[in-house]
Structure formats: structure tokens, C-alpha cells
């Protein structure tokens, strides 16, 4: 299914952002036991159930940009919206990657999705679909977290913190003094613990060529200019441009499973 980016779609009553950027074909981070993957590997990934049946693809993730919590993944089921296609808000802990990384595995029968309604593409929900709230028979030992609203999903001005991860990629990152530090190349998501582990900051280079990547802890970033105008949304990091000019980043072909401890919020505040 092609990504649902219809013009004029207002997600979460106009408060979920949509993405106009083109994603690179990224390789997954080494997973180990942490189940950490970069978004470039998860998005548009085919989804199969335990019977090996194709049941769609991962369309997007919705996160609380303030807390870094993954609220849900979006499962796109069927061929085309309006012609049998549906969207489901899937708890992140209900998905896992196939051993060969060829697909995402979700323990849900195909006929269950055939009978279920899905959610309106114009009104994205704030919680996972109750259809997936109950632990399936024979599932892994880890309990499914009951769906609940993301904490503090609006600030005092009534602006939503819940956003699509596809809208975060490409966001500009600045220092407190307004220096351009780069932009967000992608995110590393811990599916088991439902959180953003870090944002990959792309710094330097020309048109992305020769840029260095840094694994910035999510809580070290803060959002400023949260309006409905895309050009006014930036992430601020308490660091200077020179810091990234003079140190190496990580290998673009081997994303880490943990954030770079040189850029924790506590260390940056001390400098």
C-alpha cells in the first residue's frame, strides 16, 4: 500500500503532522535483546501474521514528542484505502521483526482484520485500537500494555505533542544561540519498551553527502515553535556547532542500540 499522504488530511483533528520528506533506505540497528530499530527500516516494511499471511505494511508510528513514548504503530491493511484498505492503531509491543528482517510479524488472524473497521484516515486516534489490547493465546511472556492516552498530550496552549515519526525526519536542529546543527536523519525505536531511544542527527556535508551522524538522546532535545506551520518547528539541542565539527559520529551502516552518552541532557547542561 502506498503511504497515505492525501492533501488536506488532518490527523488527530489537525494536530498530527504529516511528512513531505523522502526516506532513505536505511539498514536496521543491531537488535540484540533491546529490539531497537531505526525508523528507516521499519516504515513501509511488509507485515505478516504467524501463519505467514501478508497483512499489509507499517505505515507510520505515532509518538509523544515531549516524552518520547511510542503511542502506537500504524498497520495499513488491504490494497487501497477506499477499496478495502484499512488502518489500525497497533501497540508497538505487539510487533516483532522476522529473524531474516524481511518483514514485521504481528500475531493477528487475517479474518480478524477483515471483520474489524480500522480507524478513519482523516482522524487518527490517540490510543491503540482496543482490538489489540488483549494478549493473544501463545504470545510471548511480556504482557501487552493496555491502551491509554499519552501523558500530557497537549501543552498549556492546547497544542498536541503527538506526532507521526515521518514528520520528525528532516526536522532542523539548532543550538540555543540559533546555530544550525543539522537535521534529523531518522529515529531509533525500542519497540519492546515503547520509546524513542535516540534521534540520529545528520551534521555537516553537502546535500547529505559527507555528513556525520550522532545518536542524540531523545530527552536532550526540546521542541520549539510548535505551530501548524512546518517551517516554524525546530528541535533545540544545548550544544555548539563546533562540538560536532571536531568529533566523529557513528557508522551509517551500523546504527547503535544506545544513545551517545556524550550528549545526555545532564552532560550538556554542565558544559
Higher pLDDT, 231 or 210: 210
- From the list 246, 189, 242, the residue with the least C-alpha distance to 215 is 189
Predicted local confidence at residue 139, as pLDDT: 44
**CA angle, 32 then 35 then 41, to 5°:** 105
Please name the residue that has the C-alpha cell 544506545: 258
- 94 pLDDT band, cuts 50/70/90, is confident
42-83: pLDDT as tens digits: 999 999 999 999 999 999 999 998 899 999 999 999 765 555
| End-to-end Cα spacing for the chain | 47
153: pLDDT strictly greater than 70? no
Report the range of poorest mean pLDDT among 90-94, 99-103, 140-144: 140-144
- 97 pLDDT band, cuts 50/70/90, is confident
147: pLDDT strictly greater than 50? no
Predicted local confidence at residue 149, as pLDDT: 42
| 72 bridge partner residues | 62
Q: Which residues make Cβ contacts (< 8 Å) with residue 252, sequence separation at least 6? A: 213
Please name the residue that has the C-alpha cell 535516540: 198
119: pLDDT strictly greater than 60? yes
For the residues 176-200, what does the mean pLDDT come to?
A: 93
H or E segment to which residue 244 belongs: helix 241-245
Q: Would you call 28 helix, strand, or coil by DSSP?
A: coil
- 31 pLDDT band, cuts 50/70/90, is very low
Report the range of poorest mean pLDDT among 149-153, 165-169, 173-177, 184-188: 149-153
- From the list 241, 268, 258, 265, the residue with the least C-alpha distance to 200 is 258
Please name the residue that has the C-alpha cell 505551530: 227
Supply the mean pLDDT for the chain. 78
Predicted local confidence at residue 268, as pLDDT: 83
Predicted local confidence at residue 87, as pLDDT: 93
For the residues 23-42, what does the mean pLDDT come to?
A: 62
**Half-sphere exposure for 94 (CA within 13 Å, toward CB):** 30
**CA 19 – CA 234 distance, rounded (Å):** 14
Q: Which residues make Cβ contacts (< 8 Å) with residue 232, sequence separation at least 6? A: 225
> Cα–Cα distances in Å, from 36 out to 64, 192, 215?
18, 8, 13
Report the range of poorest mean pLDDT among 8-12, 90-94, 127-131, 226-230: 8-12
Higher pLDDT, 82 or 131: 131
**CA 197 – CA 189 distance, rounded (Å):** 6
Q: What percent of the chain has pLDDT over 90?
A: 45
- 231 pLDDT band, cuts 50/70/90, is low
Predicted local confidence at residue 79, as pLDDT: 65
Q: Which domains does the chain have, with CATH numbers?
A: 41-132 (2.30.30.240), 162-270 (2.30.30.240)
Amino acid at each position: 500500500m502506498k503511504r497515505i499522504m492525501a492533501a488536506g488530511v488532518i490527523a488527530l483533528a489537525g494536530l498530527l503532522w504529516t511528512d513531505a520528506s523522502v526516506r532513505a533506505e536505511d539498514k536496521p540497528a543491531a537488535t540484540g535483546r533491546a529490539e531497537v530499530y531505526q525508523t528507516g527500516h521499519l516504515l513501509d516494511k511488509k507485515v505478516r501474521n504467524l501463519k505467514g499471511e501478508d497483512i499489509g505494511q507499517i505505515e507510520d508510528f505515532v509518538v509523544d514528542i515531549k516524552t518520547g513514548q511510542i503511542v502506537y504503530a500504524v498497520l495499513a491493511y488491504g490494497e487501497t484505502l477506499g477499496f478495502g484498505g484499512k488502518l489500525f492503531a497497533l501497540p508497538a509491543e505487539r510487533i516483532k521483526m522476522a529473524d531474516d528482517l524481511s518483514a514485521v510479524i504481528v500475531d493477528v488472524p487475517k479474518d480478524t482484520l477483515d471483520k474489524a473497521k480500522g480507524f478513519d484516515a482523516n482522524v487518527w486516534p490517540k490510543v491503540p485500537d482496543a482490538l489489540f489490547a488483549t494478549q493473544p493465546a501463545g504470545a510471548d511472556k511480556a504482557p501487552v500494555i493496555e491502551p491509554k492516552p499519552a501523558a500530557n498530550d497537549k501543552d498549556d496552549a492546547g497544542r498536541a505533542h503527538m506526532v507521526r515519526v515521518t514528520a520528525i525526519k528532516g526536522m532542523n536542529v539548532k543550538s540555543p544561540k540559533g546555530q544550525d546543527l543539522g537535521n534529523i536523519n531518522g529515529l531509533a525505536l525500542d519497540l519492546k519498551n515503547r520509546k524513542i531511544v535516540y534521534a540520529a542527527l545528520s551534521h555537516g556535508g553537502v546535500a547529505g553527502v559527507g555528513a556525520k551522524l550522532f545518536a542524540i538522546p531523545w530527552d536532550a532535545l526540546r521542541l520549539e515553535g510548535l505551530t501548524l506551520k512546518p517551517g516554524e518547528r525546530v528541535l533545540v539541542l544545548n550544544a555548539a556547532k563546533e562540538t560536532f565539527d571536531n568529533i566523529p559520529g557513528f557508522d551509517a551502516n551500523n546504527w547503535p542500540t544506545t544513545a551517545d552518552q556524550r550528549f545526555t541532557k545532564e552532560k550538556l547542561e554542565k558544559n
